[in-house]
């Protein structure tokens, strides 16, 4: 995964990977700031004489590192070894989020509609698939998506050296696939990797016939918020004797107008009123082909108190393929989708999601997967601890890292004081002896910090062996 073997005097890969994973937790502005102020995990320069931040940027720039597979492997292990909650209350969740980028040369960026801000913005859009359960959200896979408008491709002078490399393949998918195709590909890969859930959830953007059919083909129950467009919902049974091809069909708006007076609150304290209907939909998208009728549940939902302008138009429609599901159950399961919104917020604010300061596609590709890995590692620690919330676990780890980082900075001050005190003995003991003493002190302090952070290469090797033997 990391290419050719490195020389013995080169920077160890565990230290590089740990540095890449933890720098956002130390609340620094960039990798450069991290290396200049706090990075005591790297020895200094690699075999090519690169500075610390050059070492990290050099790894991020590598086209051949398959960050997607690395992140997927981590999420797979966490899913296999952790309790995410009952499978019956677990769902694959799909959503997308945008990172605004102002530069006109940021590769992989394009114009996207930001539904949060209600306007078109320029930047990166990432489609994310994860598993949501009673224990929380586990990110599984992701893909940058490039729209057609104002798309920025790679310039010829910075093109990929090998189109077969991981980053090059990722950018080809970003340009060549729709978000729906990305979703279906990632869902199939997640199931093949061993992730388990009963449902698939998506907002109105992903609510379409193809995605519903794909969920059913994967033996999953689909719950999607649907667009309020021209899609037809059929009331009468299309398989009944004498049934016509069209039958009695309604658009979402027509269904709402017909049944809005039948909508009821689940209880006195409920803030929403709902109406549950059994309807038929034709999953076939080609008009010339044989219809593929499927019976589904639709739930109309609106605020119990309609207030303000256009209040009568504040309603949504959900589709569920589980025929026994009540309206309350549909909304309860769909509420699991909120966990992916929490993930995006955490990733953006605390985990360096697309925060690398470069316009090259390789950095954005690596950054999206590294942010997911940071989130996953803390999620696993939260599940293992059992008593802390995700935010508490994040703050605890951030605090511990900051304490150790400040300890390293404080050591630099003490080192200067010790070296100054030893200057008076330099004439008697000799420069070589004093330098040897300082080198020995540096080695011991570095060893302590490495052990405290559990990045000592020998400790890592020992943990890997213990995991393989089933002790961890």
Which range among 176-190, 223-237, 336-350, 400-414 shows the weakest confidence by mean pLDDT?
400-414
pLDDT given at position 450? 44
pLDDT at 307: 66
Model pLDDT, residue 424: 60
Residue 149 has pLDDT above 70, yes or no: yes
Least confident residue range of 88-102, 278-292, 451-465: 451-465
Nearest Cα residue to 317 out of 331, 336, 298 = 298
Helix (H) or strand (E) holding 199: strand 199-202
151 in the same domain as 20: no
Please indicate, yes or no, if residue 365 is contained in any of the structural domains: no
Domain count, the chain: 2
Co-location of 31 and 101 in the same domain: no
The per-residue pLDDT for 250 is: 92
Asked if residue 157 belongs to a domain, the reply is yes
**Domain-located, residue 51:** yes
Listed in sequence order, the DSSP H helices in 260-389 are 327-334, 338-350, 361-385
Q: Do both 94 and 140 map to the same domain?
A: yes
Tell me, yes or no, whether 419 lies in a domain: yes
Per residue in 216-268, pLDDT tens?
Answer: 999 999 999 999 888 999 998 888 777 776 678 899 999 999 998 999 887 77
Task: Decide if 376 contacts 139 (C-beta within 8 A).
Answer: yes
Do 395 and 308 belong to one domain?
Answer: no
Determine the structural domain holding residue 259 and report its residue range.
Answer: 67-359+370-385
Report CA torsion sign: 376, 378, 380, 386.
negative
Q: Are residues 163 and 104 in the same domain?
A: yes
User: CA-CA distances (angstroms) from residue 264 to 253, 303, 328, 342?
Assistant: 18, 10, 11, 30
pLDDT digits over 420-444, tens only? 556 665 666 667 776 776 676 666 6
Between residues 32 and 266, which one has the greater pLDDT?
266
In a domain, 8, yes or no: no
Residues 204 and 136 in one domain: yes
34/125 same-domain check: no
| Measured CA distances, 85 to 82, 95, 198, 322, 336 (Å) | 9, 21, 12, 20, 12
Q: What is the pLDDT of residues 379-404, one digit of tens each?
A: 888 888 776 666 665 666 565 555 54
- 40 & 105 share domain: no
Q: Are residues 211 and 318 in the same domain?
A: yes
Is the pLDDT confidence value at 352 over 70?
yes
Kindly give the interhelix angle for 179-192 and 209-217, rounded to the nearest 10 degrees.
10
Residue 400 and residue 294 in one domain = no
Residues 453, 355 share a domain = no
What residue ranges in 7-90 does DSSP mark as E strands? none
For residue 209, what pLDDT is reported? 96
We report the CATH number of the domain holding residue 131 as: 3.90.350.10
Assess whether pLDDT exceeds 50 at residue 454.
no
Task: Examine the domain organization and report whether 117 and 172 are in the same domain.
Answer: yes
């Amino acid at each position: 995964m990391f290419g050719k073997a490195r020389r013995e005097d080169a920077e160890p890969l565990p230290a590089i990977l740990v540095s890449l994973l933890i720098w956002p937790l130390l609340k620094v502005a960039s990798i450069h700031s991290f290396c200049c102020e706090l990075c005591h995990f790297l020895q200094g320069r690699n075999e090519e004489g690169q500075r610390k931040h050059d070492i990290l940027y050099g790894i991020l720039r590598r086209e051949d590192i398959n960050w997607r597979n690395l992140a997927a492997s981590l999420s797979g292990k966490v899913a296999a070894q952790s309790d995410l909650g009952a499978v019956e209350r677990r769902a694959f969740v799909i959503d997308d989020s945008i990172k605004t980028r102002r530069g006109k040369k940021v590769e992989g960026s394009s114009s996207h509609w930001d539904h949060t801000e209600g306007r078109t913005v320029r930047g990166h859009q990432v489609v994310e698939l994860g598993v949501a359960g009673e224990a929380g959200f586990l990110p599984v896979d992701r893909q940058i998506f490039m729209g057609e408008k104002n798309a920025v491709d790679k310039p010829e002078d910075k093109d990929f050296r090998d189109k077969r490399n991981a980053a090059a393949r990722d950018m080809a998918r970003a340009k060549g696939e729709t978000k729906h195709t990305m979703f279906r590909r990632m869902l199939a890969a997640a199931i093949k990797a061993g992730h388990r859930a009963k449902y698939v959830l998506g907002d109105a953007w992903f609510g379409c016939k193809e995605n519903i059919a794909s969920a059913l083909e994967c033996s999953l129950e689909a719950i999607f918020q649907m667009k309020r467009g021209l899609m037809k919902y059929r009331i009468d049974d299309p398989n009944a004797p004498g049934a016509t091809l069209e039958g009695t069909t309604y658009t979402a708006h027509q269904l709402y107008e017909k049944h809005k007076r039948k909508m009821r609150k689940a209880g006195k304290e409920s803030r929403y009123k709902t109406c549950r209907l059994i309807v038929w939909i034709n999953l076939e998208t080609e008009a010339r082909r044989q219809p593929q009728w499927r019976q589904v549940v639709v739930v109309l939902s609106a605020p119990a108190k309609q207030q303000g302008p256009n209040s009568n138009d504040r309603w949504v429609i959900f589709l569920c393929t589980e025929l026994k599901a009540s309206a309350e159950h549909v909304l309860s399961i769909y509420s699991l989708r909120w966990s992916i919104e929490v993930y995006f917020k955490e990733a953006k604010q605390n985990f360096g999601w697309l925060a690398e300061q470069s316009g090259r596609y390789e950095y954005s590709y690596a950054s999206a997967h590294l942010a997911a890995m940071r989130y996953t590692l803390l999620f696993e620690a939260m599940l293992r601890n059992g008593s802390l919330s995700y935010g508490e676990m994040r703050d605890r780890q951030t605090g511990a890292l900051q304490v150790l980082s400040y300890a390293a900075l404080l050591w630099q001050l003490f080192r200067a004081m010790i070296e100054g005190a030893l200057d008076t003995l330099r004439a008697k003991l000799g420069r070589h002896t004093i330098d040897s003493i300082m080198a020995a002190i540096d080695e011991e302090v570095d060893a302590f910090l490495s052990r405290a952070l559990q990045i000592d290469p020998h400790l890592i090797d020992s943990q890997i062996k213990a995991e393989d033997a089933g002790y961890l």
